[in-house]
Amino acid sequence: MFYNPDNRPSSLPHDPFKAIVSPRPIGWISTIDKEGRANLAPYSFFNAIGDKPPMVIFSKTGPKLGVNEEKDSIRNIRETGEFVVNFVSFELTSEMNISSQHFKHGEDEFSLAGLEKGRSQIVGVPYVKKAPAAFECVLHKELKLPGDDQTAIIGEVKGIHINEEYIRDGIFDVTLYKPLARLGYRDYAVIENLISLKRPDD
Ligand X SMILES: Cc1cc2nc3c(=O)[nH]c(=O)nc-3n(C[C@H](O)[C@H](O)[C@H](O)COP(=O)(O)O)c2cc1C
Q: Which is nearer to ligand X, 166 or 188 (CB)?
A: 188
Interaction with ligand X in 165-184: which residues (CB under 6 A)?
Answer: 182
Question: Of 42-50, 115-123, 132-140, 171-179, which part binds ligand X (CB under 6 A)?
Answer: 42-50
The residue range among 57-65, 78-86, 117-125, 137-145 that interacts with ligand X, by the rule CB under 6 A, is: 57-65
CB 95, CB 102: distance < 8 Å: no
Q: Which residue number, 124 or 165, has a Cβ lying nearer to ligand X?
A: 124
C-beta of 41: minimal distance to ligand X in Å? 3
Q: Is 42 in the site for ligand X (CB under 6 A)?
A: yes
Residues 125-154 that bind ligand X (CB under 6 A): none
Mask: binding to ligand X, 5-34, rule CB under 6 A, as x and -? ---------------------x--------
Residues in the chain: 202
Residue 89 as a binder of ligand X (CB under 6 A): the answer is no
Q: Does 71 bind ligand X (CB under 6 A)?
A: yes
Q: Residue 73 Cβ, how far from ligand X at the closest point, in Å?
A: 3
* CB-CB neighbours of 117 under 10 Å: 16
78 binds ligand X per the rule CB under 6 A: no
| Residue 137: partners with Cβ closer than 8 Å, 6 or more residues away | 56, 82, 83, 84, 85, 123, 155, 156, 157, 158
Closest Cα to residue 39, out of 93, 90, 94, 115? Answer: 115
Choose which of 30, 44, 80, 120 interacts with ligand X (CB under 6 A). 44
**Site residues for ligand X per CB under 6 A:** 26, 39, 41-45, 59-62, 64, 71-73, 97, 100-102, 182
